[in-house]
Structure 1
Amino acid sequence: MSRIVFQVAGIPALKAAFGAIGLCVAATCVSTGAWAQDRAQHLPTVQLGAGMHNIKAEVAQTPQEQEIGLMFRTSMGGNDGMIFIFDRPGKQCFWMKNTLIPLAVAFVADDGTVVNVDEMKPQTLDPHCSTKPVRFVLEMNTGWFTKRAIKEGFKLTGAPFGTPR
């Protein structure tokens, strides 16, 4: 066991120490956005359709890509998203750890039918799960599905679902 002892030579030294800490914190806050965006992954995309709406979705297919997902993004285009493709249907649950932007999530069956939709707040660990086993999960900006009246039973199109876009 080791112990670290801090000794302060006086109030001026204490003020200097807290000043230095304050500068470090301020620098970190200013650079967090750029740092976060640099850590975001950028994956190949696929075109999906939601009625008359086009979606450019990055494809997260490996466990490593799925684990990172949209973490560390500071923004996302209006019709951009990420589709998670799993090997087999299962109950899929998502959280928002290290995710800086609010998202909406659609859990999607093999044929492109939306099983359920949910809204997710940034930086939370609340689980958001499919109500049935699914292979596909599509994340978009918050409110995207609601604004377009996309809900349970709606059919998405595109290569992952075996339908043309």
Structure 2
Amino acid sequence: MKIMLASVLMLLLTPALAQDVPQLDLPRTTLKAGMHLIQTQVASTPQQRAVGLMHRVDMPTNEGMLFVFEQPAVQCFWMKNTLLPLTAAFVQDDGTVVNLADMQPRSLDSHCSAKPVRYVLEMHQGWFAKRGIQKGFKLSGSPFASR
């Protein structure tokens, strides 16, 4: 009975414990923003999207995370347990940036897409601005090619 109870507790606690460390083993893809290459980790499952970039203390300059959802919807993000200041680009199926939101570390403030999207690309805060990328800019790469 004790072994069964311990097994059930481990199953229940595993997702919570997994959120205390950065996820580093996600699939990767390369996106293009004009002449700039972006190396992204792809978070496409509910668990991967829930953890996102939480607990990261650093990230390479041209790296980010692409959140992929099953269908377009208004997507909202917050920064609980996220240590890096980030900018979220809310992106349509064809790669067009709908809007951008600067997000502060460890904040519970909600940042939402201006209209339904399937993709959200998180990069270091200021990455998009330094490259002149704003609403209406079109990203390219394999996630957007088949739509």
> What is the TM-score when the length of structure 2 is the normalising length?
0.84
Q: How does 1:67-86 map to 2 (within 5 A)?
A: 67-86=50-69
How far does residue 157 in structure 1 lie from its aligned partner after superposition?
0.3
Report the residue type matching 1:142 in the other structure: Q
Could you tell me which runs of 5 or more consecutive residues in structure 2 were left unpaired when the two chains were aligned.
1-19
Residue of 15, 38, 48 corresponding to 1:55: 38
Aligned residue in 1 for 2:122 = 139
In the aligned structure 2, how far is the partner of 1:78 from the partner of 1:137?
Answer: 18
Does the residue aligned with 2:107 lie in a helix, a strand or coil?
A: coil
Residue of 120, 124, 131 corresponding to 2:107: 124
Q: How does 1:4-153 map to 2 (within 5 A)?
A: 39-42=21-24, 43-153=26-136
In the aligned structure 2, how far is the partner of 1:119 from the partner of 1:79?
Answer: 17
State the structure with more CA Rg.
1
The C-alpha deviation readout for 1:59-88, integer Å capped at 9, x for no partner, is: 000000000000000011000000000000
Structure ranking higher in helix proportion: 1
What is the identity percentage for the equivalent residue pairs of Structure 1 and Structure 2? 60
* Structure 1 stretches of 4+ moved >3 Å: none
In the aligned structure 2, how far is the partner of 1:133 from the partner of 1:94?
Answer: 13
In the aligned structure 1, how far is the partner of 2:63 from the partner of 2:87?
Answer: 12
> What is the TM-score when the length of structure 1 is the normalising length?
0.75
Indicate the RMSD between aligned Cα atoms, in angstroms.
1.0
Does the residue aligned with 1:117 lie in a helix, a strand or coil?
A: strand
Could you tell me which runs of 5 or more consecutive residues in structure 1 were left unpaired when the two chains were aligned.
1-37
The number of aligned residues is 126
How far does residue 44 in structure 1 lie from its aligned partner after superposition?
1.3
